[in-house]
Structures are given as C-alpha cells and as structure tokens.
Amino acid sequence: MNIVFLDRATIGPSVQFPKPAFNHKWAEYPQTTREQTIARLQGADVAITNKVIIDKAVLDACPTLQYIAVAATGMNVVDLNTCAERGITVANVSDYATQDVAEHAFMLMLALTKQVKAYSAALAQGQWQASKQFCFFLDDQPPISTLRGKVLGLIGTGNIAQATAKIAKAFAMEVIYYSPSGRTAVGNVNCVSLNELLAISDIISIHCPLTEHTQTLIGKKQLALIKPSALLINTARGPIVDINALLNALHNNKLAGAGLDVLPEEPPTQSSAIMQALDNPRLIITPHTAWASHNAMQNLANQLIKKLEAFVAGQPASD
C-alpha cells in the first residue's frame, strides 16, 4: 500500500505514528498546497489529510485512491459524495480530544467571566502597582462574574457537548441544548430551538460540525437575539460564526465577550478584521489549539493507524 500523508506538520512533532502492520510505503509532507495535491497523490492507495482538500478534481486525477484517512473529526475537506460513488472509503478519527476541547471551552468561559485579559493588561501597564489599595478594579470593563447559576446553551449534542455539560454541572450551571441535526433530547434534557437557546443563555458554546446547514449559523440576526451580557464560545469550526457580525456586536456592546479557538480563515492574515480587534479585552482568540494536547494528538495517531490496518485486513474498525 502506497500511503501519502499530505500535511504531517498539522500533528505535533512529539507525536509518533505507529508503523502500519502491513507491507507499505510511507511518504509524508509537512504541508501540501492545492497545486501540489494531485502530483503527490499520483499512484497513492491511501491519502492522509488533516486540512488539505480532496475534492472531485483531485479524485478524478487520482484513480488509485482506495482509502482517505482524515486526521480529524470533521470530514468537510473531502468530497464524500464522489468517494461514495467510487467506492473510496473515508474514515475520520473521533472522540480523541473530547475532554481537551471541553476543558478549553471552559478555560475561555472562565477567562472571560473573570476578565483575565483586561486585568492582565492593566497589570502589565502598571495600573495595580500605581493604585492605593490592595484590590484593583477596572471601571471600563464588565464586572467580574461567576459561572454558578448561569445558563449554558450548547449548540450540538455530541460527545464534546456532553463532556462540556458535565463540567458545567460541576460549576452548578444549568445546561440547555440545541441540536442542528434535529435531536430532540439529550438524556432527560429536552432540546430547544436555536432562537430559544440564544435568548435564554448566559453563555453559548458551539460544539457542532461544519455543514451546509451550520455555515454562518450564528449571524447578525442570531446575535441580535443574544443578551448583551452573554458570552459566545466557539471551539468547533470558524465558519459557523459570521465574524464580521460578531465583531460588530462586540464593538456595539451587544455581546459581553467572545472566546474563539477557530476562525473562518486559518491562519488569519495580520490585516484581517479579527486580528485588528485583538486588543479588545472582551475578545480572546487561541490558535486552534483546543484539541492539541500531546495525549489527544497521540490518541488521534493511534486511532488513525488502527482504522487503516482494519481496512487493509478487511475488518470493520472501532474507535
């Protein structure tokens, strides 16, 4: 089997991919541009991709492909319909960073409710040092708050959303769900409509896949339904949120804060609107690292190779 890994650098250098237990050739590239994709997949039986797009044009030009391993949970980088028509197996890796992403979402919630960015900046500017009392307060920022008793609205009902809900319960929060896929309940908790979730929630955290139905799911109209005191957290996929509408809401004090681990364009350009807003103390951005603990990435690598070995052996793969 001729295996080609198109973007190995998207998985941390400390992570080791196990050697597949079958006869194979392995070629890997740190990154692959769209122009390089077809050339590098010539003669390949297996393609491994994290973010490199494998669309119909690539599939048309690479007839030897039998298996595409997506080194992530979301499979929006692959033309699944064309793969299904041609009998090409596509496998993702699921549940490898569930706890990591849930923890990261809560880190963003806590940082925003405790005004960590604003107070850290004030400290760096010497404002506490120049004050005349032991406790320094910022008058131009929302007050420091608590998570206890707040309503957490989860967009999505999968493993990550449920792991986030479990942490929320430990903080004595109330949890509600909206299911983009149409699920009616999670355990004994009934799902609500998106509009109801947006209107009720004190914190909204997004944990759903990017699909044609969730593209810009949160736009100007939806942001107008959110309480001005609420927070928006996105650790799912950037295009689910209309960034320009979000920036306008923050600028006009229609939203108390936003914590983003994902953006519509990754990496963003320095001149982009979102990068120009980095000095806003009510906006926290992390560089798509919610999933990226060493343990999670090693788990991903192990699962990916296990599924590939099962495919070659003609066996169904389990996570």
Ramachandran bin of 249, using left for φ above 0, alpha for ψ from -120 to 50, beta for the remaining angles: alpha
Q: What is the DSSP letter of 261?
A: S
Backbone phi, psi, residue 168, to 5°: -60, -40
Q: What is the pLDDT of residues 273-315, one digit of tens each?
A: 999 999 999 999 999 999 999 999 999 999 999 999 999 999 8
Locate 219 and state its tokens: 């736009």
Q: Is 207 a catalytic residue?
A: no
Spatial contact of 218 and 242, defined as CB atoms under 8 Å apart: yes
Element containing residue 154 per DSSP (H, E): strand 151-155
Choose, from 40, 207, 237, 282, the residue flagged as catalytic: 237
Query: Is-above-0.85 flag for pTM?
Result: yes
Cα 89 from Cα 84, distance rounded (Å): 7
Secondary-structure class of domain 2-96+294-312 per CATH: alpha beta
Tokens coding 71: 């080194």
Strand partners, 27: 4
Reply yes or no on whether the pLDDT at 141 is more than 90: no
Catalytic residue, from 34, 266, 282, 309: name it: 266
Sorted by where each begins, the domain ranges of the chain are 2-96+294-312, 98-285
Answer yes or no: same fold for 2-96+294-312 and 98-285: yes
Question: Which SS3 state, helix, strand or coil, does residue 9 take?
Answer: helix
Examine the residue annotation and report whether 266 is marked as an active-site residue of this protein: yes
Residue 109 main-chain phi, psi, to 5 deg? -60, -45
Instruction: Output phi, psi for 147, to 5 deg.
Output: -85, -25
Exactly one of 8, 40, 104, 288 is catalytic; name it. 288
The residue ranking higher by pLDDT, 74 or 60, is 60
| Residues 240, 229: Cα–Cα separation, whole Å | 21
Q: Which residues pair with 285 in a beta bridge?
A: 260
Task: Encode pLDDT of 76-98 as tens digits.
Answer: 899 999 999 999 999 999 889 99
Q: What is the pLDDT of residue 76?
A: 87
For 78, 122, 143, the CA distances from 125, given in Å and listed in that order, are 47, 5, 20
The pLDDT score that the predictor gives to residue 129 is 96
Tokens 């903080």 appear where? 171
Question: Is a pLDDT exceeding 70 seen at residue 317?
Answer: no
| 159-215 pLDDT tens trace | 999 999 999 999 999 999 999 999 999 999 999 999 999 999 999 999 999 999 999
Query: Is residue 318 scored above 70 in pLDDT?
Result: no
188 close to 214: Cβ distance less than 8 angstroms: no
pLDDT at 28 over 80: yes
Nearest 5°: CA angle at 306, between 304 and 309? 110
CATH number of the domain at 98-285, out of 3.40.50.1000, 3.40.50.720, 3.40.50.2300, 3.40.50.300?
A: 3.40.50.720
Q: Which of 97, 50, 94 is nearest to 71 (CA)?
A: 50
Say whether 8 is catalytic: no
